[in-house]
């Protein structure tokens, strides 16, 4: 048996047991691809196999790209992490916080301090995703529903979307807790203001083109649609294709470029980006996208006592850095990885792990919503570390 074949066997079982329609992985060690595996189908109906160049909706695996782009501007002296966001995006100057009242309902009160740019990186801004637990999340849900209902033809550019986010009340005082949400979409707007470019143009010029990532973008031409994997869901014991927003095509019609969830990429492309971060911000070919000290800053634990709010099962043992999970308490999570290993995942189950100490990069791709990441990702991670 080859060194990493246990990972392939695990993935083959995911497909044979119909947990996923198809999936793929690449393992890079010391700047060399030491293992890759493709199994199952990008489209079950047409029997299109998963390949290295299959395109995936990576959703929140967009976030590490966004924070890398923002940190490039940080390295240029364009901002400081402790700067108020309103210094650059004035619509965030006077924010209100949504406070639940004892007798029911909510009241809005002025925020005690301004949102800092660091709050956007660390998900401590007060912006959330949609849900049912508070008024803020319900209002966020309405905003996102309006945007995504007409996703393919929306005329809402990134900067305009960020202005709409500024009209939402905060779910908590900035800097007082961690809550996953729209913070990195706001970073996308900040990147536009500081760079003078559209967000998509900036990441293409400063990240994708230098790393030769030709298949990573917010929008793609019709000629690539045949390579885009279908999104599936698990219902009544069967894998069925999604027919909702998750199956959208990301064609050139949409003007919205979401810093939190908007990119399409391939396994071959994303490995190039992730490997550069593993390697201290420089690719194996010598292309530098970020400084090593800045990458180390990205993967530090920035939450401290706020770690208590990261209560997701899949993140057990992890804290949060600048836009990435970071392994801080491996014993607590039962993780056989390295302290400081960092990365993130996407809503449809894509996953990236970067471990500079071991010079290890793992990128895994699938398209399933709900993703079963709590079950799949920790097992795959532990298997690969066990193969080292």
* Number of separate helices (H) and strands (E) present in the chain: 11, 14
* Separation of alpha carbons 292 and 280, rounded Å: 4
User: What are phi and psi for residue 56, nearest 5 degrees?
Assistant: -130, 145
- Strand 232-235 relative to strand 55-57, pairing: unpaired
* Separation of alpha carbons 124 and 307, rounded Å: 11
**Whole-number mean pLDDT of the chain?**
92
* Separation of alpha carbons 342 and 234, rounded Å: 29
Mean pLDDT for the stretch of residues 189-201: 97
Residues 292-346: tens digit of each pLDDT: 999 999 999 999 999 888 989 999 999 999 999 999 999 999 999 999 999 999 9
Task: Give the CA angle between residues 287, 290, 291 to the nearest 5°.
Answer: 105
pTM, two decimal places: 0.94
Would the pLDDT of 147 be above 80?
no
Would the pLDDT of 132 be above 60?
no
Q: Beta partners for 29?
A: 32, 360
Question: Of 137 and 65, which is predicted with more confidence?
Answer: 65
Residues 216-255: tens digit of each pLDDT: 999 888 889 899 999 999 888 889 998 776 667 676 566 6
* Separation of alpha carbons 20 and 23, rounded Å: 7
Percentage of the chain beyond pLDDT 70 is 91
State the pLDDT confidence band at 107, using cuts at 50, 70 and 90: confident
């Amino acid at each position: 048996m080859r060194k990493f074949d246990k990972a392939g066997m695990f993935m083959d079982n995911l497909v044979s047991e119909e947990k996923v329609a198809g999936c793929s992985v690449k393992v890079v060690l010391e700047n060399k691809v030491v293992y890759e595996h493709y199994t199952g189908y990008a489209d079950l109906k047409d029997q299109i196999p998963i390949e290295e160049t299959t395109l995936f909706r990576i959703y929140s695996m967009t976030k590490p790209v966004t924070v890398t782009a923002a940190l490039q501007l940080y390295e240029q002296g364009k901002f400081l992490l402790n700067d108020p966001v309103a210094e650059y995006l004035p619509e965030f100057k006077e924010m209100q916080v949504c406070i639940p009242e004892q007798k029911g309902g909510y009241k809005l009160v002025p925020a005690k301090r301004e949102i800092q740019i660091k709050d956007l990186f660390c998900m401590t801004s007060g912006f959330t995703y949609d849900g049912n637990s508070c008024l803020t999340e319900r209002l966020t849900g309405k905003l996102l529903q309006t945007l995504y209902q007409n996703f393919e033809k929306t005329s809402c550019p990134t900067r305009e979307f960020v202005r709409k986010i500024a009209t939402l009340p905060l779910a908590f005082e900035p800097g007082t807790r961690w809550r996953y949400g729209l913070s990195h979409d706001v970073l996308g707007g900040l990147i536009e203001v500081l760079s003078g470019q559209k967000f998509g143009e900036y990441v293409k010029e400063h990240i994708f083109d230098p790393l030769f990532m030709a298949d990573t973008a917010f929008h793609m031409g019709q000629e690539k649609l045949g390579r885009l994997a279908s999104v599936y869901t698990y219902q009544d014991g069967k894998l069925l294709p999604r027919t909702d927003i998750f199956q959208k095509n990301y064609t050139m019609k949409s003007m919205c470029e979401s810093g939190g969830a908007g990119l399409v990429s391939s396994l071959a492309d994303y490995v190039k980006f992730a490997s550069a971060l593993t390697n201290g911000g420089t690719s194996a070919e010598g292309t530098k996208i970020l400084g090593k000290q800045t990458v180390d800053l990205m993967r530090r634990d920035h939450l401290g006592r706020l770690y208590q709010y990261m209560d997701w099962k899949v993140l057990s043992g992890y804290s949060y850095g600048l836009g990435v999970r970071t392994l801080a308490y491996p014993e607590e999570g039962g993780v056989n990885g390295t302290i400081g290993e960092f990365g993130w995942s996407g809503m449809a189950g894509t996953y990236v792990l970067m471990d500079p100490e071991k010079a290890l990069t793992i990128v895994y791709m699938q398209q399933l919503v709900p993703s079963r990441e709590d079950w799949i990702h920790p097992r795959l991670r532990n298997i690969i570390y066990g193969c080292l």
